[in-house]
Structure 1
């Protein structure tokens, strides 16, 4: 991975840093020099053009970071986001970023899906992948918190009419086909987000972000002053 914020967060949160690869030509920034001094790991100098090819853009340093286990206990908390079979790494990373920003305790990515460690997902999360517990699951896990709320344009109740202040699991479906039959059956309620204009629907990550914002808004209003 690359970028000041993602690498800094990965180091701060204790992710295993297997190697730091930096350019061999030209001066390094103060941040890169301090990182190389502070992190005890394999350090490799690489020709600039090879580093750019590896990173798919111009950069001075990339990190090789180990993955964490897909343990449901890591998610915990009273607001969990499920992304069912996302195909776009960009959408996946964007929803991870939104879940982190709006107070989710973790995310579960289910089924045959984009990889949470895909470089595009990591970049789209802007580092939130390293602060929010995110795990992968082959099937519908048990023991999810509270009411399970699915999002679908043909839902039976408007999202804003639901009480989202208690323990909640928000389920966002695949970008093209929506939730799987198994997840739809697991939902206690399926909600829709009213939209206007010429749009036929919201992007999956956008819909999840709206639902997370509504949940955060309700919880903030519900807290005693």
Structure 2
């Protein structure tokens, strides 16, 4: 059994991972350690504070007790606001602290796209527009073109966690574009792991969600990613 340790900021949709682990009947362990949060806000200063090294280091100490095979910083905005270099520094710090390979959700999006040879995407974001543009630039730096965006202006992770499946599907459909090879849904505060297949059915194309790519990358760090049910084209 592979254990992917997850560092998750605060409390919003961490139960998405726990529900997935239960569905997989022990095939993959997904222990979650929640990190501290100063202010729950999709705002640059708050996100830089959310992802600072001290907060991650505190969580890493707890997560090490789970003896994970890999570690993921399960936060998109709290990684991409640091840029590619900053995100790599985050991941490197976690790897050093826990002693296993580590990455983050933002890096996972890039690696998942490249794994599927996807280079033109739409972004269906819960964030305000300025935060969405940080993600667009993060993707662009990796050679992934964003052909359309939908920014929904939701200010807190707590609010995002309350979105229904139908609301998420509507958000993804609204952001889609004919030129996009896939739609990216970048918020680990959004419950998506039970509806990835529904999102792909609604759009007729690959959909990559934050919690989905986080699990995928955690497995990818360990070895070949197993084929898992109901998790879309990526799996």
TM-score interval for Structure 1 and Structure 2 normalised by the shorter chain: under 0.3
* Structure whose CA Rg is larger: 1
Structure 1 or 2: more helix by fraction: 2
**TM-score normalised per structure 2:** 0.27
